[in-house]
Structure formats: C-alpha cells, structure tokens
Structure 1
Amino acid sequence: MIRSLTSALLCLTLPTQALALSCAPWNAVSTYRAAAEAEERYVIALGSFFRTGPDQVTEQNAAGSDPYSYTAYFAGDMASRVGFRTPIEFPVQVNVTCVASWCGTPPGDGETVLAFMQVDDNRDYSLQIGACPFWAVTYPDEADVDQITTCMRSGC
C-alpha cells in the first residue's frame, strides 16, 4: 500500500519537474514576436561575438549556481526590411542567468549567431542567456534568417 502510494506520488511529480526543465523548440517568428511585444527595445543581428572581458559573478541563485556576465564585442549585420545588410560593430554585455547543465550557453567566439539584443536609451546593448536558447541562436539556417526579414518587412 505504501509502496503504491509512493509510486503514485512520484508519477504525479516527475512529469511536472521534467516539463519545467524542457524548452519549446526555437522558432524565428515566436522570438521575433516576443521581442516586438516586449517593453524592452531589441535589435536583431546576424554575426559573431568575441569575448573582451572576464566573467563577473552577479549573485548566487537558489540552486547554488552563480549567474555571471561579461563584455563582448559584436560584429555583423543588423536586420532591416531589406535583410541583414547594415554592418554593425559594438560592445555587448552578455548576461548568463542559468548555469546548470541543462541551460542555454552563450555563443562562442566567432560562431555565427542570430541574436536578439536589448538596447537601452544610452545605446548600450545586452544579450540575455537563460535556461532556453531563446535570444541567441547559433548557426541559424537560411530559412530562419529569411523569416526574420519577412517579419521586419510586413510583420508576423
């Protein structure tokens, strides 16, 4: 009886925990919409990050891991209605808020990335890396890049 009750309770709790750790498949349109509907302002760019500074631990979270940030340099092309044709280069603050083994990882130096970066009123840029790779997609395919251009041109 106790064994059956324990098994039943485990069956009820495990799927919930597993679902909490899963990420929905990345989709260019849904990420574009999330950026467009956010209070923060975003720029969308295709290019590469190059780390320029050391990790700066921000604060320890409840799981005991240490979120961190670092400075990087971004070089690439910004999205517009005509495609990714506006060359840009600027420093970016990369904020990594999830550092467990199941979390998204920041882009490596020189990897091609489709990045959705926040920009503030001072024209300071930041990239958020959380549990799911939502704001930075490494090595996006051409269809994703074309979809972002379509969204920029006529909405999604």
Structure 2
Amino acid sequence: MKKVTLTLTFALMAGQLQALSCMRPDPVAAFAQIAQAPEPYYVLYGRLSFDETALPAGFRDTFDGEPAPIPARFEGKGLTNAGFTSDFISPAQLQVECAANYCGTAQSGIDALFFVRADQTPVTMIAGPCGGMIFPEPSQALRDQITACMQGGC
C-alpha cells in the first residue's frame, strides 16, 4: 500500500512540475525572436474581440488535436519607429495551440500586445500553451521599451 501511495504522489508531483515547465514569456525576447525570423511580423497593441466560450479548456484530459481557429476582430495600433501610431483594424482569428494536454488561452476585449505574422490572412493571433506571442495589459513602460527595440535600442 505504501508503494502505491508513493508512486501516485510522485506521479501527481511530476504532472504538476510538467505544468510549471514553461519559462515566463518576455516581450523583449519575443521582439528579438521575430526580428530574426525570415517571415515578416506585425507588432500590434489593442483589443482582440472574440467569443471566449469557443476557447478550449486550458487542461484537457486527452489531446485530440489543435482546436479550430476562433473568428475575431482586432482594433488597435501597429508599431512604427515612432511607437504604436499606425491604425490597425482588421478581421482576425485566434489560434489556440496545445502541447500534450495543455492549451494556450487569451482574453477577449482587453488591451494586449500581439506579435503576429504579417503574411497571414486573416491576421492570426497565436495563443501558445506557454504564452509568448500575446502579452495582456502591457504597461506604458513596456510599450516604450518595445518602441525602443523597433528603433534599434534593444
């Protein structure tokens, strides 16, 4: 009985540790990553509106493939050398990605910073299981730092 309890406890702890294995997403590191990518990217700040009931559960008992894209609309600004100054209003979609049983998530209608591929139509926001391309409610200081990166100051 002791061996079964210990094994079960270890299995539960391993599952919890696996859930915590993501590194904290960093918007400046994400900017550096997309700056090196061969594909063109937009850096956007604004609100993505979509039906939150269409989001998959953050944890699923079984992995049954990637969820379908969720139709959305983006309203905000695109990053230029002068900051977030270019109006950007567009149909969009939210693609939730999963790794094993863990799925990414996003919130509708809140201000966020988005790193999105510019060569996709409609514009697709990616909500990965470890985050990294959507940063909710960024401070003015963070937006200023991303602008500095755009100006070559990172």
> Structure 1 length as normaliser, TM-score?
0.74
Correspondence 1:107 to 2:107: yes
Matched AA of 2:152 = S
Shift in Å at residue 76 of structure 1? 0.5
- Verify the 8 A CA contact 1:66 1:99 in the aligned structure 2: no
Shift in Å at residue 102 of structure 1? 5.7
Percent identity between the aligned chains? 27
1:9-24 maps to which residues of 2 (within 5 A)? 18-22=16-20, 23-24=22-23
Q: Distance in 1 between matches of 2:14 and 2:101?
A: 19
Matched AA of 2:94 = V
Q: Distance in 2 between matches of 1:42 and 1:89?
A: 16
**Unaligned ranges ≥5, structure 1:** none
Shift in Å at residue 7 of structure 1? 5.6
Matched residue SS, 1:154: coil
The residue that corresponds to 1:43 in the other structure is 42
The residue that corresponds to 2:98 in the other structure is 98
Matched AA of 1:137 = F
Q: Between Structure 1 and Structure 2, how many residues are aligned?
A: 149
**Unaligned ranges ≥5, structure 2:** none
Q: Distance in 2 between matches of 1:154 and 1:139?
A: 24
Report the aligned-residue RMSD.
3.7
- Verify the 8 A CA contact 2:44 2:113 in the aligned structure 1: yes
Matched residue SS, 2:98: coil
Shift in Å at residue 98 of structure 1? 2.7
The residue that corresponds to 1:69 in the other structure is 69
Q: Distance in 2 between matches of 1:75 and 1:27?
A: 23
Shift in Å at residue 118 of structure 1? 1.5
> CA offsets, 1:70-100, max 9 Å, x none?
1111110111111111111011121012399
